[in-house]
Amino acid sequence: MAIKIYKRNTAGRRNMSVVKSEIITDKKPEKYLLAKKKSKAGRSLGKISVRHQGGGHKQKYRLVDFKQDKFDIPGRIAAIERDPNRSSFIALVNYKDGERRYVLAAEGMKVGKEIISGRNVPIKSGNRTILKNIPVGTIVSNVEIFSGRGGQIIRSAGSGAALTAIDEKTAQLKMSSGEIRLVSNECYATIGQASNFEHNAISIGKAGRKRWMGVRPGVRGSAMNPVDHPHGGGEGRQGIGLKHPKTPWGKPALGKKTRKRKRYSNKFIIKRREKRK
């Protein structure tokens, strides 16, 4: 896997980069594993509820199997593909019984490799098993929060959590953010970190490329009028003029904790994530 940096022959190409992965196969996605995806442009009942969304290239949703519940049936990877709906790669798996499914690709997966899911499987990258059967110190991804619901956390490109301890009923996971969280040791997890770890190193390069992704322009609040934003107004280039930054709706914008104090899952978090410096 390598990052290609384009020549600086135009302003838009300056410093633009893309990930050129050798493991990506040149094939069209499986038709019966695709679903329609309607673009809502950030609107609910015709009114904008999420700003800076709209346009972009037409996409189809890939039906990814986050549960991987074909237990003890080996499958061979037929293709590694890009998914426009997520940052990590997806793998097309051909199972021994003839069924085909998309799964999240883990680091180290390649065409021809065999993977398996079950309670007692070899501890190899790409295999999936319950947390209590995985050795302490192993990096895992696509982890279930509740047993049987399928992977819900640690799914983005390059992400991984370290399995730090296993108790009688729970397992401790240390996230990349620094948070340490308890999960039932009966939950399934994929061994190895999620694929495409170089995703964060990509330089978008030009505004048009963001528009292809369905992201519309964002305007600074300090460039607006006072009627439009709490930071607006003033002659020339002005500061925000407030003690704390606010959103257009007057809510605190930086450093304000938004998590509910009495959330049911607070008891599962041993250590909170570290603050950004």
DSSP characters for 34-66? EEE----TTEETTEESSTTB------EEE-B-S
Tokens for 116? Answer: 């398996």
* Class of the domain covering 2-200: mainly beta
> Which residues, other chains included, contact 235 with Cβ-Cβ below 8 Å and sequence gap of 6+?
none
* Residuewise pLDDT in 10s, the chain (277 residues): 678 888 888 888 888 888 887 788 888 888 899 999 888 898 999 999 999 999 989 999 999 999 888 888 888 999 999 999 999 999 999 998 888 999 999 988 888 888 888 888 888 888 999 988 888 888 999 999 988 898 899 999 989 999 998 888 889 999 988 889 999 888 999 999 998 888 888 888 888 999 999 999 999 988 999 999 999 888 888 888 888 889 888 889 888 888 888 998 888 888 888 777 6
Q: What is the distance between the terminal CA atoms of the chain, rounded to a whole angstrom?
A: 30
Paired residues of 188 in beta bridges: 130
Domain boundaries of the chain, sorted by first residue: 2-200
Degrees to nearest 5, angle at CA 97 with 95 and 103: 25
Nearest to 106 by CA among 118, 121, 93, 120: 93
Q: What are phi and psi of 53, to 5 degrees?
A: -120, 145
C-alpha–C-alpha distance, residues 89 and 238, integer Å: 44
